[in-house]
Amino acid sequence: MRALLRRVVRAAGQTAVLVTHSALDALVLADRVVVLTAGRVVERGPTRDVLSRPRSPFTARIAGLDLVPGTACPGGLRTADGTVVAGRDGGLVDGEPAVAVFPPSAVAVFAQRPHGSPRNVLPVQVAAIEPHGDVVRLRAAAVPGGPGWVEGLAADVTPAAVAELAPEPGARMWFAVKATEVAIHAAR
């Protein structure tokens, strides 16, 4: 149906405005998107660019990505509370407003603080456990005294991992993300 609609609009040489919350509809049907949050435009541009490099938490959530706001710093991004999120920065200027973006599938979940190569290890509380296709999505909330920007971050894990970890809402866990999985780009 989507492909048919796209062909009909293009064949007629017409412009159509489609309002949707579906990233799939936007990718399949739209050449350009405008993202509104609280009644104001927060992002606009070619669909693939906006959805692959979101600059706002709302757009990231629509695109199925995690987003952390901050400023560019050597080796990554510094959050408002001073935490450094390590990642690939693409040559940003130190101090420039930036966002760190990564897919929930790149997040490993641990019951105890992990040791090893992941540069980004975050204490979280489990806020929600959601079925998501063939995986289970764990949503994060901030731990008391922890960084508030973890609120809403997601990790996709297998049902076997859920059985092993036995997460429950309110349980304290650790999210870990390798720096190679984190893309950092300008927030504007």
Note the CATH number of domain 66-188. Answer: 2.40.50.100
State phi, psi for 157 to the nearest 5 degrees.
-130, 165
Q: How far is Cα 58 from Cα 37, in angstroms, rounded to an integer?
A: 7
Domain coordinates of the chain in residue numbers? Answer: 1-63, 66-188
How confident is the prediction along the chain (188 residues), in pLDDT tens digits per residue?
556 555 655 676 777 787 877 777 877 788 888 888 888 988 899 988 888 889 888 889 888 999 999 999 998 999 999 999 999 987 899 999 999 999 999 999 999 999 988 899 999 999 999 999 999 999 999 999 999 999 999 999 999 999 999 999 999 999 999 999 999 999 97
Distance of CA 146 to the CA centre of its chain: 19
